[in-house]
Structure 1
């Protein structure tokens, strides 16, 4: 039990100020000398024992009517360990520009707002804490130990703007964190991962300009998080993997202007549910982006923002669009070898989207079907057919040699059923060829003096149409080798065209 007589002068000043909530200022007024990093040199005139702070917070001197007791201390060195585990604290607790010599514990405590700003702390352990207010650590440095908020409950906000936190592997452990406010971490710097699996953050996870450093590991783990917004923009940097597996984000997930430097896989968003997804990083991530089975209402992206590998199986979206335009001077040739500057905007959009889908490793039909479905939804049926044609071409490249040959035949003749007019062009070309060749040669009648007169055009059509007949093919034959072989070729071409049309149309109707 502390007695007033054994308190040092700064401790007595704090003791006397506590009942009125008055701030005790111990700073010297010289910026360099007042930096918490230099606090190891502060003498007794700026030192307060942790036991005194604890005694006041537990109500040792709050007996004064007409005032609200609060502990407000600036520029002090807190000696000893501040252990408030299991405590019930009914007073606001504020430290500014202070230096704590040992890690602080709030394990299982119940408290009001805690502010430790612009201070140096060797770690804060606050598992199961209940804070009826805010936890404010702005501009503070947690060095040598992490910030632990596992299964904590915070009625207000968590403020970590401009803070620096380092831990052996994990800088912030906050799995199961439940808040009524938001996580505000603009320009936060961590050495070690930021772990928030299963956290509930109604007002958002805001990490604009933050830098999370955990090379070779996980920079941000926010799987199963439930929040309104995840803002990783304005220079946000993750050295390590960002994991948002099965996250539920009601409004916005943005990586605009971000840097994602994960090994192997830079961003994991499998199974997440998002309102608006803005993926326009400052540069392509160093690793793959995994969007498998994610659900997005609106996706806005940058063509140049995607890495070489994007896993898209099961990725669904209500709408999608590039956030920038590509100029004709880029000089890249798109599908079919057509320079992008020579295409219409719609053709350019489709070609760029198909290039995006091809970043998915291997062949998967769902990304093509999803894109085609979206084009149909907005009334761009021609673009949808173009996407489905690209799907068939991709699929047939994965087949055995015989399947690839048949695929090339379907593509050339009817475009896998999505370009049936190609069969008409082939029919016209072959009909003209046959008419010209047969018109310059004299056939031999099967039965002299009988049958219909020879007509080269009708005869050619009779060869090309495999079913039925026009009466010419059975009445005439050729003794010359050239016309005879051309007749055989036209008969075979007729069967091939008919088979290809039937197969292509059937495939289209079945939406394969």
Structure 2
């Protein structure tokens, strides 16, 4: 139990101010002397023991009637560990421009608003903590350190399974754990927004597995550096949130992983930079099984690693010329609309002269062959009323598939492609029929055939004879009445019969394929 007589002058000042919620400011007013980075040199006149702060928050000095007690301290060097693990704290804590010798332990505590702004803290453990209010670390530097005599943290800021009823403010903060987790917050629940912008920097992995960020996560202009041995800058797997905003200069030097994440509104990477792991061995963005309404991937420059969208579902996809790296995983990716920026406005990306060719190049960035990306793109074109573009996409799908087949099947595929465009260009059969009819009419018109029965049967008509050879079903009477006994015209008649069967078979196969949407 602390005695008032053993308190130092700054501690007595804080003790007396606490019941009335008054602020104690130990700063000198000189910018050079008040730099928090040099707080280790501050003397006894600016030093407050962490044990005094803990005692006040645990009601060692009762509040005055009619006022709200709170601990508000600025410009202090806080000596010793601030250990409030498991405590029930009914008073807000406001610390500004303070320098901590050791870490802060709030594990399992129930507390009010905690604001540690502009300060340097060697580790903050708040796992399983419930904060009725907000957590404010504005402009603070939190590093890995020791939060108790026996526990050295591998994470700078730990909020595993914590619940914050208000928001979290980390704007301008620096979280540093190059060999571990800058932020370890698996299972975190926040009712308000999480703000990590305005110069926020993380050295180490930001880990939010299974978090429920009901007010959204906003990392505008944030920088995620040195992701550690796993190469992951941000792990947000299986999280549930309203908004994810990684925009306005957001930079990730490591993998951004959103596997299984559900976003009820928008997910934005507008003007972001996704560099992927520093060694280049790993994806830049993983969104497998992710769900979002609005997905904005209009990046500032192309990602340096793979973008993985397998199984993702979005209603609106926004992209630009920088969105896609050399390798894009698209199998199972479902979208309702693709939009691009035109004259400063986002418009549906159909109707442009190079639309289909551009999207074909996009799909071909996906390794191997998968029919689903083609079918999804064709479905989008059909929904937008561009049936011709949809057929071009499906034709490209068949040509891509052909490269995976055995030689005989590839040969048959080339024949289907040349004759009827796999059923998506049936007019090609008409072109072939016209050319062969013209060839036969001219060739047979220059010769004299032999009658099967002299003086009987119809008069020889080169055009009708050619059509009779080309059409394998039924008969026009010419082929049964006339024949060529020798020479090139005999072989030409056989060739036209063969082409007739080939064209008929190709047309039937192509139409059947189209009807089956295979």
Q: TM-score range by the shorter chain?
A: over 0.9
For residues 405-429 of structure 1, give each alpha carbon's deviation from its aligned partner in whole angstroms, at most 9, with x where no partner exists.
1111101100000110110011011
Contact 2:248 2:271 in 1 (8 A): yes
Shift of 1:347: 4.2
Shift of 1:490: 0.8
CA distance in 2, matches of 1:275, 1:33: 51
CA distance in 1, matches of 2:270, 2:9: 53
Q: 2:202 aligns with which of 164, 171, 190?
A: 190
Contact 2:4 2:12 in 1 (8 A): yes
Pairs within 5 Å for 1:280-319: 280-319=298-337
Aligned to 2:272: 258
For residues 375-419 of structure 1, give each alpha carbon's deviation from its aligned partner in whole angstroms, at most 9, with x where no partner exists.
111221111111111111111111111111111110110000011
Shift of 1:63: 3.3
Q: 1:358 aligns with which of 357, 364, 383?
A: 364
For residues 176-210 of structure 1, give each alpha carbon's deviation from its aligned partner in whole angstroms, at most 9, with x where no partner exists.
00111111101311110000011111110111111
CA distance in 2, matches of 1:312, 1:153: 36
For residues 18-40 of structure 1, give each alpha carbon's deviation from its aligned partner in whole angstroms, at most 9, with x where no partner exists.
11111111111111221111001
Contact 2:258 2:288 in 1 (8 A): yes
Structure 1, unpaired ranges of 5+ = 326-343
Structure 1 position 77 matched with structure 2 position 77: yes
Alignment partner of 1:323: what SS?
strand
CA distance in 1, matches of 2:342, 2:355: 11
Aligned to 1:341: none
Aligned residues: 494
Contact 2:73 2:95 in 1 (8 A): yes
Contact 2:20 2:63 in 1 (8 A): no
Contact 2:20 2:70 in 1 (8 A): yes
Alignment partner of 1:501: what SS?
helix
Shift of 1:480: 4.8
Structure 1 position 411 matched with structure 2 position 426: no
Alignment partner of 2:411: what SS?
helix
Shift of 1:322: 2.8
Shift of 1:312: 0.9
Q: 1:468 aligns with which of 468, 474, 484?
A: 474
CA distance in 1, matches of 2:396, 2:433: 24
Aligned to 1:201: 213
Pairs within 5 Å for 1:320-331: 320-323=338-341
Structure 1 position 140 matched with structure 2 position 152: no
For residues 435-492 of structure 1, give each alpha carbon's deviation from its aligned partner in whole angstroms, at most 9, with x where no partner exists.
1111111112122211111111001101100111111112112245221121111111
Contact 2:261 2:290 in 1 (8 A): yes
Pairs within 5 Å for 1:320-469: 320-323=338-341, 345-469=351-475
Alignment partner of 1:466: what SS?
coil
Aligned to 1:211: 223
Aligned to 1:105: 105
CA distance in 2, matches of 1:198, 1:212: 20
- Which of 443-452 and 428-437 deviates more? 443-452
Shift of 1:346: 3.7
Alignment partner of 1:303: what SS?
coil
For residues 45-89 of structure 1, give each alpha carbon's deviation from its aligned partner in whole angstroms, at most 9, with x where no partner exists.
111011111111111113311211111000000001110111111
Contact 2:220 2:248 in 1 (8 A): yes
For residues 343-379 of structure 1, give each alpha carbon's deviation from its aligned partner in whole angstroms, at most 9, with x where no partner exists.
x944411111111111111110111111111111122
Contact 1:303 1:322 in 2 (8 A): no
CA distance in 2, matches of 1:488, 1:303: 54
CA distance in 2, matches of 1:140, 1:436: 90
For residues 235-280 of structure 1, give each alpha carbon's deviation from its aligned partner in whole angstroms, at most 9, with x where no partner exists.
1111111111111100011111111122321111111110100011
Aligned to 1:118: 118
Structure 2, unpaired ranges of 5+ = 146-155, 344-349
Shift of 1:323: 3.4
- Which of 224-233 and 281-290 deviates more? 281-290
- Which of 208-217 and 312-321 deviates more? 208-217
Contact 2:300 2:322 in 1 (8 A): no
Contact 1:105 1:125 in 2 (8 A): yes
Shift of 1:324: 5.4
Contact 2:195 2:218 in 1 (8 A): yes
Aligned to 1:153: 163
CA distance in 1, matches of 2:352, 2:27: 65
Q: TM-score, normalised by structure 1?
A: 0.94
Contact 1:302 1:324 in 2 (8 A): no
- The root-mean-square deviation of aligned C-alpha atoms, in Å, is 1.3
Contact 1:254 1:279 in 2 (8 A): yes
Alignment partner of 1:151: what SS?
coil
Alignment partner of 1:274: what SS?
strand
CA distance in 2, matches of 1:265, 1:18: 51
Aligned to 2:174: 164
Contact 2:216 2:242 in 1 (8 A): yes
